[in-house]
Amino acid sequence: MKTFFDRLLIFTLFSAGLILAVLAILFAISLGLSLLLDQKDAILQAIPDDPGNKDRIFVALVGIGSSLLTALLGVGVAIWTYVRSSAAALRAGRKQHTITILFQTRVSKDFQATNAARKAAFPVDQDITLDAWQAARHATAETAGSAARATELQNGADALQQLLNYYEFLAVGIAQGDLDEDLLRASIRGIMCNLVDDSRHMIAALRQNNPQTLEHLVDLYGRWRRDGAINHNNAATERPIPVR
């Protein structure tokens, strides 16, 4: 089954071919009209008041040419209308796909539990370092103070990774044209940017080892973040991801 991106690629190539064909037709038409206009007076003088058989053939050819020109213009308009309609359908499909993903995420108990687990281990508006995340992943009753807290930290570390991977997935969908960026920006910009801001030191350390780690999310965060943003505690947020 073709993905949305595959269909978009096929449509783009097909549309490009149609556009090139229309441009070629329009160029030929404009060239022909230009030549006809240049020779308009000569053509009119060449048409006698009392046409003979040869003259009638010439007039018939002119009529055929006019009909052909009208037909070509009709084809051009039809192709233009089709391209516009198909593009609108693709945009509508992309938005519907985006809305479906957002709705499923909002009502997902698993997503809500993942978000709660992350907050239990790493409270919102607190910087998360790679060392802190790794310590949580490998927490024990001795290091955490209790077996229950160790489990909470381990679950929180996994939850944080899942959330970052989820927003990376959305960023990939935007980059490939499967998801509507404007709709996502209006819906999750603040939530995503706050998460990345809290995790920026951890992300920077991970990317130092592998620059491709969360690369689409980092790029999206760079476009969405706002300089000088502050959170509800009047503290700086949406800060740049450090470069190491």
Model pLDDT, residue 84: 72
pLDDT at 1: 38
What integer pLDDT is reported at residue 165 of this predicted model?
A: 97
pLDDT at 153: 97
Interhelix angle 181-209/53-107, nearest 10 degrees: 60
> What's residue 90's pLDDT?
73
pTM of the full structure? 0.67
For residue 2, the model assigns a pLDDT of: 45
Give Cβ neighbours of residue 189 (< 8 Å, ≥ 6 apart): 224
> How far, rounded to the nearest angstrom, does the alpha carbon of residue 201 sit from its chain's CA centroid?
27
Look at residue 74 in the predicted model and tell me its pLDDT: 72
Q: What is the mean pLDDT of each run of 10 residues along the chain (244 residues)?
A: 54 64 64 58 58 59 67 72 70 85 89 96 96 96 95 97 97 93 94 96 94 96 95 91 86
Dihedral sign of CA atoms 18, 21, 23, 26 in order:
negative
